[in-house]
Amino acid sequence: MSSHEPDRVAGPRHYTLRFTLVAAFAGVTLLVGLIISAATTHLVGGFVNDEFRLRLADLAAVAASQIDVPAHHRLQQAADQDSPAYTALRQQLRDIRDRGTHIRFVYTMRQRPDGQVVFVVDGEEDPAAFSPLGGVYTDVAPELLSAFAARPGSPASFVTARFYTDAWGTWMSAFAPLYLPDGRLDAVLGMDISAHRVLAHERRHQIVIWAVCAALILLFMPVAYVIAQRLRRPLSQLEAEMMKVKQFDLDSAPTIRSRIIEINGMVQQLENMKSGLRSFQKYVPADLVRRLMARGVDAELGGTQQDLTIFMSDVEGFTAMAERLAPADLVHHLGEYLTAVTGSLLETGATVDQYIGDAILAFWNAPEPTADHALRACRAAIDSQTQTAALNRKWAAEGRNVAFRTRIGINTGEAIVGNIGSVDRMSYTIIGDQVNLVSRLEAANKFYGTSILLSENTFQQVHTVFATRLVDQVIAYGKTVPIRVYELLGEHGQLPAGLEAIARRYEAAFGHYGCREFARAAALLEANLSGDLADPPSRVLLDRCRRFMIQPPAADWDGSFVLTSK
């Protein structure tokens, strides 16, 4: 053996609760400060922006009202730039600019028939920034186009939605239409205002907010430390109790006191968990254990007789499939299938009793009561068939040569439900004649070629919601009293095309069959098997009718058929 220890692998770093809470408190304070800063900056910026827009809109509208529009209208050619009218209008624009605050440029524009926008009069003195009459205006804003489309009665001015930056600086612009006396639009007055001071004010505001955030972090550090201490002490005690649970020491009662409601709640949940774990040593179904933990009770032997809806499913031809598939593939496919069907059951509030190979036994109305347990069972059955079909399509797309076809029996009746077994090992399960009947119903699907069969008790509770058909009146294997068996087809209004007609013809045929009118029944059943139709129950009953047409049943025959196998 080596004389030295192997190198340690660096793991994740760990921190004390005190450090974590202080850091979290500081982080939250910083985050809140950032959010407040961003929100305040946004609100202040929006407010300033709106105020600038209102002010600029008013300035542009007032300036436009002072322009001699007829004189302006006469300025059409480049040579008009030397006219007295141009000089007078240019001076007027300069006066408007100089009387305003932070106004940088004032000018007028006209839109040519080809859509091009050109300058008319520019009040700028700087030759480098001056735009001559006829010079093309290149940066056409949507608000400028709105001004050119304006008519008398439209807004007096149009202001850009936000500040924008170009080669001359950062600006907000307003455009006011200039109308001739007859109401025609002659031109548009433009006015640009500098945003330098506003942006500088916003930057100062942001600096102040950041400084306040930093001060808050420093101020709340001692507060965070005190709160961390208040949390750490009871949580350390709670950790010690959890260590006892890890060692299955489930009998100790923690004496943890805290003024914090959530910590007291954690202590109570710890006790509930211990109670649940004590029951977990006796129970198998995990979902049932979770319910027991929530209720905080220990499991005891005992049962009650109550009305339940019982579900049993089985996979057709599973034995042959098990012989054909490799064990790993079989386990994989069966796991996917059982997960899908179990999901359908649990979503409707079922208690999954047990898995018997590929079969599933489940029931409703215990341990939690559900008034509509028969309806829930039917919904789960239909959904499980849908989920199985989806799995088959998935496997086919993956190139897997396997497909599951599920047969389901559903029965409603009184059965014994409770904790059955020994003192040390028990199972929350159901027993009784109704469980045997649901097993017979599931198996009868193979004989009739159906997928979901219901007992008459279940049919009576669901037929107003679900479409069904009477399949047969049978005496189940090992029974003496006949029962009526129904096929579950789907919810009313959601049946595939033609299925309802097949079901109605079948039930009419079954009525003739019970009245010994075998020829009339056979004619209806043959219609269900004509063309592309292939209704398995119709074929079963048709064969029976043809036999009775040759050799009628006994005089005391009541229409019942004896199932000779389980």
- Digits of tens for pLDDT over the chain (566 positions)? 444 444 444 555 655 656 666 677 667 776 776 777 677 666 666 666 777 778 888 888 888 888 999 999 999 998 899 999 999 999 999 998 888 777 888 999 999 988 899 999 998 888 888 989 988 988 788 888 888 888 888 888 888 877 777 766 777 888 999 999 998 999 999 888 877 766 676 677 777 777 777 777 777 667 767 776 667 667 776 777 777 666 556 666 667 766 667 667 777 777 777 776 666 554 445 455 546 545 555 667 778 899 999 999 999 999 888 888 899 989 999 999 999 999 999 999 999 989 998 999 999 999 889 999 999 999 999 999 999 999 999 999 999 889 999 999 999 999 999 888 887 777 889 999 999 999 999 999 999 999 999 999 999 999 999 999 999 999 987 778 899 999 999 999 899 878 999 999 999 999 999 999 999 999 999 999 986 768 999 999 999 999 999 999 999 999 999 887 76
What's 354's domain CATH number? Answer: 3.30.70.1230
Indicate whether 500 and 552 sit together in one domain: yes
H or E, element range at 409: strand 406-421
What is the domain range of residue 181? Answer: 66-194
Residues in the chain: 566
User: Is residue 126, in this structure, part of any structural domain at all?
Assistant: yes
Query: Secondary structure of 53-118 in the HEC alphabet?
Result: HHHHHHHHHHHHHCCCHHHHHCCCCHHHHHCHHHHHHHHHHHHHHHHCCCEEEEEEEEECCCCCEE
* Alpha-carbon span 174 to 188, nearest angstrom: 10
Indicate whether 396 and 507 sit together in one domain: no
Domain C-terminal end among 462, 484, 516 = 462
Indicate whether 457 and 516 sit together in one domain: no
Handedness of CA 453, 456, 461, 464 (dihedral sign): positive
Instruction: Quote the pLDDT of residue 544.
Output: 95
Pairing of strands 466-475, 103-111: unpaired
User: Is residue 176, in this structure, part of any structural domain at all?
Assistant: yes
Q: What is the CA radius of gyration of the chain?
A: 43
* Residues facing 138 on adjacent strands: none
- Return the SS3 of 293: helix
Instruction: Quote the pLDDT of residue 6.
Output: 43
Indicate whether 449 and 320 sit together in one domain: yes
User: Is residue 12, in this structure, part of any structural domain at all?
Assistant: no
Indicate whether 415 and 506 sit together in one domain: no
* Alpha-carbon span 452 to 389, nearest angstrom: 14
Half-sphere exposure at residue 519, Cβ-oriented, CA atoms within 13 angstroms: 1
Indicate whether 324 and 452 sit together in one domain: yes
Handedness of CA 447, 451, 455, 456 (dihedral sign): negative
> Strands, E, within 128-266: which ranges?
158-159, 164-166, 169-179, 185-194
How many domains would you assign to the chain?
3
User: Is residue 251, in this structure, part of any structural domain at all?
Assistant: no
Indicate whether 501 and 409 sit together in one domain: no
Domain C-terminal end among 174, 194, 214 = 194
Indicate whether 428 and 504 sit together in one domain: no
Nearest to 524 by CA among 504, 499, 548, 544: 504
- Residue for token digits 């042959």? 320
Indicate whether 454 and 542 sit together in one domain: no
- Residue 408 CB-density burial (10 A; 0-12 exposed, 13-18 middle, 19+ buried): buried
User: Is residue 561, in this structure, part of any structural domain at all?
Assistant: yes
Indicate whether 450 and 540 sit together in one domain: no
Indicate whether 389 and 502 sit together in one domain: no
What's 162's domain CATH number? Answer: 3.30.450.20
User: Is residue 535, in this structure, part of any structural domain at all?
Assistant: yes
User: Is residue 486, in this structure, part of any structural domain at all?
Assistant: no
Indicate whether 405 and 503 sit together in one domain: no
Nearest to 468 by CA among 494, 495, 486, 444: 486
User: Is residue 146, in this structure, part of any structural domain at all?
Assistant: yes
